[in-house]
Structure 1
Amino acid sequence: MKASNFIIWTLREAPNDAVIASHQLMMRAGLIRKLGNGLYSYMPMGLKAFRKVEKIIREELDRAGMLEMKPTVIQPGEIWKESGRWEKMGPEMLKPQNRGGQDMVVSPTAEEAFTALVRDALDSYKQLPFTLYQINTKYRDEIRPRYGVMRGREFTMMDAYSFDKDQTDLDESYNKAAAAYRRIFKRMGLDTISVRADTGAMGGSGSEEFMVESEVGDDTLILCPGCKYAANVEKAACKDDVALDANGKPQVATTAAVEEIPTPNVRTIEELSEFLKTTPQAFIKTLIYKVENPGVELEGDFVAVCIRGDLDVNEAKLCALLKASSVELAEEADVVRITDAPVGFAGPVNLKKAQVIADKTVMTMHDAVTGGLKKDVHFIHVEPGRDFTPFMTADVRVVKPGDICPECGGTFYSKKGNELGHIFKLGTKYTQSMNVTYLDVSGKPVTPVMGCYGIGVDRTLASIIEGHHDDKGIIWPMSVAPFQVAVIPIMYKDKMKEVADKLYDELTAAGIEVILDDRNERPGVKFTDSELLGYPIRIVVGDKNLPNVELKLRTADAPELVPADQAAAKAIEIVRSELDKLNG
């Protein structure tokens, strides 16, 4: 490709709303352009890299025996009502109506569509197992889109769905997908971490995410240096610990009755600790949550969640426990109505208007302090199990660095990361609710089990840039570079043109993706653009060096002089060697 026939729209400065490196560089390099809030279009240079990411994904999924298909982006609302997710998906899912007044959905995900399509075709156990996939457009009306294509409203996802006879076969499909993911990300030059994850709105049981470390990551990863334990903080569990008293010794049960004490203008755990001359571990913190679309039977829309005073509630764990579409802290008016007290004085003792959910740590506490359900009042000498009985007891704590690994006893540390891929064992969540069956060997109808496997294509591309750049621009891994080699004549005329054209022809004939920068621009502009655009290899043809040319790797500090008649062969060798490393 000659640059004069291509669009190279680079910018000196990134837009003000671009705050992370990948967003800034994608805008400056002209890979994407913003059309609206959370809506980005790929320009020709960006689309070339995007297609390479797609190509690697396709190759590895095909290698794993998966079959590509293309369902519609617009889906009938009826199938979402069948699955039970019509209400649970929340306002992020667009629900237009067609001219006949029928509810429709702009696909935010594709479990329902694939399940409905398989339901109409699956008859016999002889057809199983199989895995179908798509690479298609999605839309989620994110309340706060940010970071360019890293978290946009419209995006491209690879979704794969396996259909198996039983759990054993599902495990095999799941493991094949996980292996394919590892190959995919390795080929793109991404060093991913596989972590245990929450299944969220997708449902199911086993789940893991493929994360890439990033200082601007949306997710917190909990990691153990002593073993391979790795989990998203939403899912992470730690070894149970014992609550300590003010002297640092295990709390001891009391026979004293619950007693009210005045605590004027003392609301927070920190204020209480100072007021009562004790530590946060002495307190049972009670938070009122509103629950949307719970999958367990509750007496109302609100629950009271109790947790030790030095800990925080993990809302993802709480949401999963209640099988709800979402949970959120109650408004002040609801807290006052439920507790008959201002915010800051909620407690589980004598609470009548909300069911109590206790974190496991609470049930090991003794002689505790709680809110007194009155303004400026707290209870002391509270014994969980004696003075209140939770409706549910479960692990709903946020795990933090310094907590203890439940598997090896190591001390956790944390890192930030971005999710690139997510795999789930869905089980029969969708096939059962949507009445999908097959006939087994005895002719009996059986519900197949499903797995779900997703990769965010846009997010993966942005993450490659986030992890491969310097202060001059992008540093593409060879496998996803829009062009692998740039041939740059200082001036596109005379002997320089002749040499540049010959290099271009030799590289193209060898299957190398090369751009010849024949633009009528100053050399400095061409060099700056080549570094910003991140071409892995740059060959500069100038009068002063002929019959030699300058060959420079994007990762090198300085170029080397190479005879012009050997430059193409050297570049070809480098390209193939780099691809072999990534593909090996």
Structure 2
Amino acid sequence: MRASRFFISTLKEAPSDAEIISHKLMMRAGMIKRLGSGIYTYMPMGLRIIRKVENIIREEMNRAGAVELLMPVVQPAELWQETGRWDKMGPELMRVKDRHGRDYAIQPTSEEVITDVVRTEVKSYRQLPINFYHIQTKFRDERRPRFGLMRGREFTMKDAYSFDRDAAGMQQSYQIMYDAYVRIFDRFGLQFRAVAADNGAIGGSGSHEFHVIADTGEDALVYCPDSDYAANIEAAEAVAPSAPRAAAAQALTKTPTPGKAKCEDVAKLLGLPLSQTVKSIVLAVDREDADAEVWLLMLRGDHDLNEVKASKIPGLGAYRFATEAEIVEHFGTRPGYLGPIGTKKPVKVVADRTVAAMSDFVCGANEEDFHYIGANWGRDLPEPVVADLRNVVAGDASPDGKGVLAIQRGIEVGHVFQLGTRYSEDMKATYLDESGKPQLMQMGCYGIGVTRILGAAIEQNFDDKGIIWPTAIAPFEVVLCPMGYDRSEAVKAETDKLYAALQASGVDVILDDRGERPGVMFADWELIGVPHRVVIGERGLKEGKLEYQGRRDPAATAVAVADMADFVKARIAA
């Protein structure tokens, strides 16, 4: 490719609405152009990267035995109604009507469509297992699109769906896809981590998320440096304290805490560690023929509620946070002074594992400007229902018992799910087993955010000059920067010779023949992030040398003219 025949459009400054580094750099490098809120045109430079990402995914999916098809973007509402997701998906599901008034969804995912395909095409156990995938446009009507491709509304995703005879087969298909994902992210050249995750709205049983490691990541990843344990913050188990609860040593005392509604302020006033306080979180569950049921969740003052864990407590699946009116009705006071002792109306109390192991703790007294100190289970209030309610923190014991936990930030770019019969049961997707009896198919689903990979890769790989692409997904592997290409026959001849040699070797090379000044030329390619650069100049040619510089290299390396093609190929291979 010659730069004069390509489209290069770089900017010195990012648009004012670009918020994070990947968004800023992609806009400046001319890779994307904003069309509307969360909707982008992929410009030629950006599209080249997308195609390379897709090609790696496609090769590994085919290698894993998946079969490619292509499902439509627009899907009939009837399929989504069969699984109940037409209503459950909420406003993120874009709904449209055709000219006849029929309802359709602009697909955010394709579980319903692929299940419909398989239930009509697969009849016998002899046709299973099978795994279909496609790479297709998706649309999710995000409430607040932001961060460029990281949280847009229209995006490209690879989604695959496996169908098996039984749970054991489904788990085997799941492992095959998990291994394929590891190969995919290895080939991308990105630092990543696979973590156990919650299935969320997709449903099913087990799942793993694949995260690109980046300090700017939205997700907290929990792992044990001394073992293979890894989970996202939503799924990471906070194990119960190993030491038994200490015996009560203090009397229960109602203590004035004027104006101190937060645990931090109460602890400071009383001269106690924050870890000796207990915070109260009030939830409510609506009931059809009665007032809402009110729950009190108790966490240590320095811990945070894990809302996913709370939703898994029996009876709290559809919880919401209680209103202030409901709180006053049940506790007799406004938030900030709440506790389990002496509530105005009965509430269901659930204590986090850590709180259940505490003694002589501080909690609200259900009276404004007052807290109890010296509260103890069994003596001052009944033993609670105990559950894992909190987010883990660095230094907690690892659930596998092999060390302590550490936390790093990541950007989710892939997710694999064991769906089981979540969709096949709703849509009656069955096959005939060896005895001729119908059985529900066991499903798995597997997604990779193709366009999100671009943003995540940049968040992991950039410097003050611009993007630093891993070679495998760079828009071009090598850029040739001739000094005076249009003025020096020697420079032009050697540049063309090297360009032809690299092309003949299958190297994805671009020759910058635009006639720009060296400073402009270098700045453009450093911003765009091409990982390998060769400079051809008259001075170097007189010495029989060309200059090579990797995008991360602090300085250029002089290489003999005759050796440069092989040198570049070796660096790419490395």
TM-score over 0.5 for the pair: yes
Q: Which residue of 1 aligns with 2:514?
A: 519
- Written as runs of structure 1 = structure 2, the 5 A alignment for 1:426-465 is 426-465=419-458
Verify: 1:304 aligned to 2:307, yes or no: no
Verify: 1:346 aligned to 2:338, yes or no: yes
Verify: 1:558 aligned to 2:555, yes or no: yes
| Aligned amino acid, residue 267 of structure 1 | A
Change (3 A) 1:138 1:242: same
Q: 8 Å contact 1:490–1:540 — kept in the other structure?
A: yes
Taking the aligned partners of 2:58 and 2:521, their CA distance within structure 1 comes to: 34
For structure 2, the residue ranges without an aligned partner over 5 or more in a row are: none
Which stretch of the first structure deviates more once superposed, 372-381 or 339-348? 372-381
- Written as runs of structure 1 = structure 2, the 5 A alignment for 1:163-562 is 163-241=163-241, 250-252=245-247, 264-274=258-268, 278-289=272-283, 300=292, 303-321=295-313, 329-349=321-341, 350=343, 352=345, 355-366=348-359, 369-376=362-369, 378=371, 381=375, 383=377, 387=381, 393-408=386-401, 410-493=403-486, 494-546=489-541, 548-554=544-550, 555-562=552-559
Q: 8 Å contact 2:241–2:353 — kept in the other structure?
A: no
Taking the aligned partners of 1:314 and 1:421, their CA distance within structure 2 comes to: 22
Q: Which residue of 1 aligns with 2:156?
A: 156
Shift of 1:63: 0.2
For these two proteins, the number of residue pairs brought into alignment is: 568
For structure 1, the residue ranges without an aligned partner over 5 or more in a row are: 245-249, 579-584
- SS of the aligned residue for 2:541 comes to coil
Taking the aligned partners of 1:243 and 1:191, their CA distance within structure 2 comes to: 37
| Aligned amino acid, residue 510 of structure 1 | S
Which stretch of the first structure deviates more once superposed, 234-243 or 120-129? 234-243
| Aligned amino acid, residue 422 of structure 1 | H
Q: Which residue of 2 aligns with 1:97?
A: 97
Taking the aligned partners of 2:290 and 2:444, their CA distance within structure 1 comes to: 30
- SS of the aligned residue for 2:328 comes to helix
Taking the aligned partners of 2:167 and 2:405, their CA distance within structure 1 comes to: 32
Taking the aligned partners of 1:530 and 1:369, their CA distance within structure 2 comes to: 60
Deviations 1:194-213 (A, max 9, x none): 21111111122211112222
TM-score, structure 2 as length reference: 0.89
Q: 8 Å contact 2:263–2:278 — kept in the other structure?
A: no
Q: 8 Å contact 1:207–1:422 — kept in the other structure?
A: yes
Query: Among the aligned pairs, what percent are the same residue?
Result: 45
Taking the aligned partners of 1:281 and 1:540, their CA distance within structure 2 comes to: 61
The alignment's C-alpha RMSD in Å is 3.1
Taking the aligned partners of 2:137 and 2:294, their CA distance within structure 1 comes to: 36
Shift of 1:411: 2.3
Taking the aligned partners of 1:401 and 1:304, their CA distance within structure 2 comes to: 26
Which stretch of the first structure deviates more once superposed, 434-443 or 50-59? 434-443
Taking the aligned partners of 1:17 and 1:71, their CA distance within structure 2 comes to: 34
Change (3 A) 1:484 1:449: same
Verify: 1:574 aligned to 2:566, yes or no: no
Q: 8 Å contact 1:261–1:378 — kept in the other structure?
A: yes
Shift of 1:322: 5.8
Q: 8 Å contact 1:242–1:364 — kept in the other structure?
A: no
Shift of 1:189: 0.7
Taking the aligned partners of 2:566 and 2:264, their CA distance within structure 1 comes to: 69
Shift of 1:47: 0.5
Change (3 A) 1:118 1:340: farther
Q: 8 Å contact 2:238–2:388 — kept in the other structure?
A: no
Taking the aligned partners of 1:324 and 1:497, their CA distance within structure 2 comes to: 72
TM-score, structure 1 as length reference: 0.88
Deviations 1:69-111 (A, max 9, x none): 1111222233223223333323322223333333322222222
Q: 8 Å contact 1:209–1:422 — kept in the other structure?
A: yes
Shift of 1:262: 5.9
Change (3 A) 1:269 1:60: same
Shift of 1:240: 0.8
- SS of the aligned residue for 1:26 comes to helix
Q: 8 Å contact 1:218–1:418 — kept in the other structure?
A: yes
Which stretch of the first structure deviates more once superposed, 64-73 or 488-497? 488-497
- SS of the aligned residue for 1:419 comes to strand
Change (3 A) 1:260 1:523: closer
- SS of the aligned residue for 2:163 comes to strand
Q: Which residue of 1 aligns with 2:39?
A: 39
Taking the aligned partners of 2:348 and 2:66, their CA distance within structure 1 comes to: 46
- SS of the aligned residue for 1:87 comes to helix
Shift of 1:59: 0.4
Which stretch of the first structure deviates more once superposed, 332-341 or 218-227? 332-341
Q: 8 Å contact 1:299–1:355 — kept in the other structure?
A: no
Which stretch of the first structure deviates more once superposed, 121-130 or 350-359? 350-359
- SS of the aligned residue for 1:86 comes to helix
Change (3 A) 1:75 1:379: farther
| Aligned amino acid, residue 507 of structure 1 | L
| Aligned amino acid, residue 289 of structure 1 | L
| Aligned amino acid, residue 104 of structure 1 | Y
- SS of the aligned residue for 1:238 comes to coil
Taking the aligned partners of 2:269 and 2:555, their CA distance within structure 1 comes to: 65
Deviations 1:248-284 (A, max 9, x none): xx4325998x887665444222344355565545544
